[in-house]
Structure 1
């Protein structure tokens, strides 16, 4: 399975020759059938994005489920998203929360962001702003701009914990460096009103 997986990835990525999604899908399928978690994940992704064949959310879900059951954090996150958006089956927030939780527990930043979002909104379970804030903090520490914005926002408003303008300003600044538009708007407001630091109209513009 491992050799088929490696060659399948070479066809998918165009290493040593032209990109050939159809052949990549065939080889990854052989490896996936032998229980190769990484092959199951990659093949599931190809079915999801219609690479090398038709789009098939149900098959993507099946393959990601097989990889997720082996502890593959990226597949757990993908399965969480598919349940959240209702791809391949009806929306299931409780299952989305469970799968994103499994990914988050392994330190997967996107899984942490999805779980934090669901907890902040009470989707698929109880609303928990303190846990949402903690999860956004974990993802923000891994450099996720969207998490830095949300974590900053919770500090700005005092959601799920104490209000801290200086920390909000710092977090927005990190996201602005990555070109995040919402962070720029929020940071501009903080400069105008002198929240978390001195008023700076020039910087606000």
Structure 2
């Protein structure tokens, strides 16, 4: 996709954001501010992890993303892709753009899951819709690896996701 085409696509999606966000306070954009103190001293790490897991299990999307990042990058503890996948999925299902981007990369690379270009592409496109600009470039890299059949499947899946979402918005406004 050209830069102009990408900008036009993103611009159209951003124009829809205020309309989509009006239904029941449902916003496509999730703010990304730090919730957990996972960069603490080693002596306090167990307590920080417990507090972050509690927040994430209570629905705090940023906490779930931070846990996924903590387990994914393995800087402060051994890398655990299964836990990273779990927490990225939890945040992704609720629209956290950064978590969706990381999850899409995991599907593309086959990190902790079997590589799946279609799933990677779909998740990366959703990340872009939710505001993660870098996801557009990553989706382009995935797209370059996909065959025609994979593109068709991904397009059908994305189309169904957006149709379902628009139906949900329409019924919420009634």
TM norm. shorter chain > 0.5? yes
1:45-194 equivalence runs, <5 A: 45-122=69-146, 125-126=150-151
Aligned length in residues: 117
- Give 1:21 deviation, angstroms: 4.1
1:2-81 equivalence runs, <5 A: 6=35, 8-9=36-37, 12-14=38-40, 18=41, 20-81=44-105
User: Structure 1 CA distance, aligned partners of 2:106 and 2:74?
Assistant: 15
- Give 1:49 deviation, angstroms: 1.7
User: Structure 2 CA distance, aligned partners of 1:120 and 1:89?
Assistant: 20
User: Structure 2 CA distance, aligned partners of 1:51 and 1:40?
Assistant: 17
- Kept in 1, the 8 Å contact 2:105–2:120? The answer is yes
- Give 1:72 deviation, angstroms: 0.1
User: Structure 1 CA distance, aligned partners of 2:48 and 2:68?
Assistant: 12
Mark the runs of 5 or more structure 1 residues left unpaired by the alignment: 128-205
1:26 is paired with a residue whose SS is: helix
Q: Which segments of structure 1 move beyond 3 Å, counting only runs of 4 or more? A: 18-23
- Give 1:45 deviation, angstroms: 0.7
- Give 1:116 deviation, angstroms: 1.4
Mark the runs of 5 or more structure 2 residues left unpaired by the alignment: 1-33, 153-174
The TM-score normalised by the length of structure 2 is: 0.59
- CA radius of gyration, larger in: 1
